[in-house]
Structure 1
Amino acid sequence: MGKPIIDSARGVARDAEYEDEDNPIFESCSFCNNEVDPGGDNVAIAFDRYMELILNSLHWIYALGSEVGNPPTGGGDGLEWFSTTEVAEEHCWGAVAQGNVDLFRAIEGSLPTDYWTYKNFGWDKVELPFSWKRFNDLALNPSPLSYDPDSLILSPVRLMAKILNYIAFDYDSLLRVIKPGTRIWRARTHSDEVPYFAATGAELGSAPAEHAKANRMSREGESMFYGADELATALVEIGYSEDRYATAGQFTPTRDLLVLDLTSIDYAPSIFSLAERRDFYPIDFLHRFSYDLSKPIGVNPEIGYLPTQLVTKSVREYEVEKIDGIRFNSSKPGCTANYILFFTNNDCRDSGNCVLRLDVASVRSGLVLTEPDRSVVH
């Protein structure tokens, strides 16, 4: 953090001239003591110009009480209010002061001594989170009458369309191509050390529809491929079984697969960058959205899985991009990423025409499953 405001300040400094009273050249910075190299770039700007950059950025999110004509008078106005200290600590300590105590105190002391509230009644901040909460509520308690079509909150269909459109058009780094040869582990349990089934692509692949149980991303009767980056993760993910042993193998795609990769949201946009501001709230939501899809479900998975199953359905039916699956973080401590790929048992083989091919040489049988903690269902 911090680079955007520094870049903006340096842009002002590059335009400085000795005779320019509004933007003069400074020989050193009074907060960090960096001095100007006689043959290099100017390194400092006037503090009031620096504060101008900061205030312009803060005003992208906040309005002052005096500006909206409704400063807090004991509450009851429906708005969320913040003190100058709260705003400064939230946005300025790491992003613009860079941990410099003197600079931070100077910034805090130069901000308006007023109360701050979110612009647009905070709707930019809450639209997606509120709609996602409503999405979960409706998934858990489906009813034709439970959604008000006149509500400002996005309907489930519109919410998922908006999220997927964000990803497809603005954050396409989350759409990852899985190349042929990529190895994905899949495991199947059995009660005895020697499996009762042959270790073929069909037997280790997606469960046939008639045997497919409800799971985190799929409903009962839906044949889909669950896999993991690492063998240890694949084994932990099936550790809830009463069986003691497992057989596992590596599948590789025979063509490019396009997956929604929710493990790679490492972008942290800054309000202090003109180019990144519009991403501030959507990316913040996507971080939480990714966590919610991976978190432990609780003691009633049949109900708890309903929202993630509905998300999977929306991704499968997305018309703008043909998405083949989702890559998401495991909910189990110390584990890596999982896959849900939208391919049935007929797509999994160890030879011939298929989408997911088992590497027979990778198969390992008689793997011992660790005793699961049955007090919590993931």
Structure 2
Amino acid sequence: MQSADGDEASPEPAAGAEALCLAHIHDPFLHRRLRAAASPGVCTFGHASKAQRLVVPVRLLARTVLAALSDRRSDAAGEWEHDDADKAPANPAEVMGQACRTALDAEVLKSVRDHLDRQYWDGYRVPFVPRAGLLRYSWDSFCRTVVERELDLPGDDQPPGSDRDRLAALMGRIAGTIREAGLIGTIEQGERIWRGRMRPDRTSPGYRAGDIGAAPPDRAAENRMSRAGVPLFYGSADIATAVAEISARDERRPYAAVAAFEVTRPIRIIDLVDIPGLPSLFDHEQAARHDSLVFLQDFAKDLSRPVFYDGRKHRDYRPTQYLTDHFRQSTELNVEGIRFRSAHNGGVNYALFVDADQCLEPDAAEGEGTLRLIKGSESVHDLDRSHVTQAV
């Protein structure tokens, strides 16, 4: 075939036959994986020079990525079956586009998607079922399942294949990742946790532990991590975070009165403040760890979203309540709370599985308590920071 000026024209590459050099691949794991399969050739993306480089065909890149993103179980069909489960199977090109936005240069990614689209729409169905946790699907699907089915924490009776059985299996995987990733921490004896209430004036309230400790069951209101009637001690690692938390609940009263509780014994917790970095999305050997860490990251982000304090029950709270209930009851993890980031200032918050009778008065005798109110720690803060009254 000749071009208009009589020179021999280069034929259009066959679908997927375009080649790319490794400079267009930005995920270190994928780079190493494809380097082993690369051979000398000409990169057809973004290079004026026709010098030979180590290149791989687009079709090989597509196969490698889809293999990494696929669920290899013989019965793979997604984590849950919702009302839209009968929709068309996942389009590999769309999944590739979401997964590789930062891993590949845009021009290369377009070529890969075009290659997969040609196969998909030409009647060749690429055999691909995305793994259940892929691309944050696991947390989203978990939330939908718990909300739509109005599920409470599973009991002992969990028929195989039921929603409760699947949720129990998911919880087992998450618990394993929490242990393996070192997300079990300790609040040491002597550490302070701040808690308080909003007030109409700057008068020091003279708190007792019964005033600002964990609420008894008959007064425990629904919150993002606790159902109505389930006591939970919410507190902060510093005064500024405590003030930010309680002032978000009350925009009318201008003063925040806070006080500190001292931890009387070590408390074992799940620490979601610094979740480890993710392994490569394309490392199938690390797929379970990757997807579980993404699940925990999304859970932590959900905890850091502002809460709507309007006195109504919120279905959106059910997933975080469910997971918190599981952590509370898990004998495998054996924890007494969760540490997480504040939605309001990025500080550190605690949700402790502590009842009202575990919050001791400053003058209480040594006993079975977990938190002791610190005498003299009380202070009242004007939200415009113009005045602070320190209790005597």
From 284, 292, 295, the counterpart of 2:302: 292
User: What is the match of residue 382 of structure 2?
Assistant: 368
Asked if residue 236 in structure 1 is aligned to residue 244 in structure 2, the reply is yes
**Measured at CA, do residues 48 and 163 of structure 1 come closer, stay the same or move farther in structure 2, by a change above 3 Å?**
closer
Farther off after superposition, 230-239 or 126-135: 126-135
Shift of 1:52: 4.6
Q: Percentage identity across aligned positions?
A: 25
Asked if residue 249 in structure 1 is aligned to residue 264 in structure 2, the reply is no
What is the distance in 2 between the residues matched to 1:118 and 1:256? 52
Contact 2:279/2:286, CA 8 A, preserved across alignment: yes
Kindly report which structure 2 residues correspond to 1:1-378, keeping only aligned pairs within 5 A, or say none. Answer: 2-8=27-33, 12=36, 46-48=54-56, 52=60, 55-62=63-70, 78-83=88-93, 86=94, 89-95=97-103, 97=104, 99=105, 113-115=118-120, 119-120=128-129, 123=132, 125=134, 129-139=140-150, 153-155=163-165, 158=168, 161-162=171-172, 164-170=174-180, 172-196=181-205, 198-239=206-247, 240-241=249-250, 243-298=253-308, 301-304=312-315, 305-332=317-344, 334-349=345-360, 350=362, 352-353=366-367, 354-364=369-379, 366-369=380-383
Residue ranges of structure 2 left out of the alignment (5+ in a row): 1-25, 72-85, 385-392
SS in 2 for 1:313: helix
The CA RMSD over aligned residues, in Å, is 4.2
What is the distance in 2 between the residues matched to 1:45 and 1:111? 25
Shift of 1:79: 1.1
**Measured at CA, do residues 106 and 271 of structure 1 come closer, stay the same or move farther in structure 2, by a change above 3 Å?**
same
Contact 2:69/2:282, CA 8 A, preserved across alignment: no
Contact 1:269/1:283, CA 8 A, preserved across alignment: no
Contact 2:196/2:212, CA 8 A, preserved across alignment: yes
Name the aligned partner's letter for residue 269 of structure 1.
P
Aligned length: 324
**Measured at CA, do residues 30 and 256 of structure 1 come closer, stay the same or move farther in structure 2, by a change above 3 Å?**
farther
What TM-score, normalized by structure 2, do the two folds share? 0.65
Shift of 1:361: 4.7
**Measured at CA, do residues 47 and 78 of structure 1 come closer, stay the same or move farther in structure 2, by a change above 3 Å?**
same
**Measured at CA, do residues 183 and 156 of structure 1 come closer, stay the same or move farther in structure 2, by a change above 3 Å?**
farther
Shift of 1:341: 0.5
What is the distance in 1 between the residues matched to 2:218 and 2:187? 28
What TM-score, normalized by structure 1, do the two folds share? 0.67
What is the distance in 2 between the residues matched to 1:79 and 1:30? 32
1:14-52 CA distances to partner (integer Å, 9 max, x unpaired)? xxxxxxxx978x9xx99999xxxxxxxxxx983138975
Residue ranges of structure 1 left out of the alignment (5+ in a row): 14-21, 34-43, 64-75, 371-378
Shift of 1:369: 4.6
What is the distance in 2 between the residues matched to 1:229 and 1:149? 42
User: What is the match of residue 8 of structure 2?
Assistant: none
Contact 1:295/1:331, CA 8 A, preserved across alignment: yes
Name the aligned partner's letter for residue 135 of structure 1.
V
